[in-house]
Chains A and B, each alone.
Chain A
């Protein structure tokens, strides 16, 4: 992921969080699930590197899909209500990881490079996702929420800031506005060092 090609990464990432409820706890849970599935998919993709691409993608989607079902069951075991609420959103994650795998394969030339770049990208994606979810809940309800077995519990700031524009952070169309705002900001931070290196090499 660099300045030039970050948009497909960003859109695939936001696609997962767009439909989730506007509380940080749900975003955090989805992010942990995403991290596990992304890591598994990366290693599985490296293992099946010699296979033709269309068959490999089939295997990856099947494997990550079943892994998602397994993780969803674990979440349901931890808290049935949370499991019921995020039941269909969680199945967007295998699609997103497959997109990331395809995008990263275009960037790398050797297998050894792939592990490094994949996990570097994962680090960036984690930072973006956590700040996105925090910003979203803070903008919507001026609160932060955490997970318990009975569902989520929110810790509210006594004063509800931005009360007039709650709809921006809390509704799905409003989140698109935040996404557009993030898209403007991210190029300022992402892989700044790499671009300097590029300039030096040029």
Chain B
């Protein structure tokens, strides 16, 4: 009886381990596809904001704690040497979480739009109030400025 139980436990541990490793593998393989899809969507949102101005290219190589709630992407602006950035951040409002898109351009970050919700009615900007938006504008601004200055110093 005990031996049977031991075998069952061993099989369970093996199954959990296999599932864990397959999750890692899946995460590795879907990375490129996910990035491509997000960039495509962000490009649409930016085009709605200002047409033919920004081109979203790739994920920004910043090392921040933001990765659990969103990501920052590089956006190249036409006729400008300075890089712009686009951030996709999940914000928790009174109506639950929403993904918000912010644009960093010329040392200033502004909120553009919400991602992933089209044609929908909402309650007071999907439950996100102005103080939350201004908090994230400031935070993203600080993160991008600190990262770009560090990178610049390293390059020099």
Contact = CB atoms under 8 A, between A and B. Distances in A.
Contact of A20 (B20, B23, B30, B96): B96
A151 B116 contact: yes
A83 B30 CA distance: 12
A142 B97 CA distance: 20
A167 B70 contact: no
Nearest to B68: A87
Interface residues of A, number: 53
A155 B127 CA distance: 20
A84 B37 contact: no
Contact of B22 (A51, A70, A87, A172): A70
A145 B68 CA distance: 27
Contacts of A80: 34, 37-38, 41
Given A80-B38, A84-B70, A19 B115 contact: no
A66 B19 contact: yes
Contacts of B90: 84-85, 87
Interface in A67-126: 67, 69-70, 73-74, 76-77, 79-89
Interface residues on B, range: 35 or more
A35 B51 CA distance: 43
Contacts, number: 139
B79 interface: no
Given A70-B26, A80-B38, A172 B94 contact: yes
B145 interface: no
Interface in B15-41: 15-16, 19-20, 22-23, 26-27, 30, 33-34, 37-38, 41
16 contacts: A22-B95, A23-B120, A44-B12, A48-B12, A62-B16, A66-B16, A67-B19, A69-B23, A81-B88, A87-B90, A88-B97, A153-B120, A156-B119, A170-B127, A172-B96, A173-B94
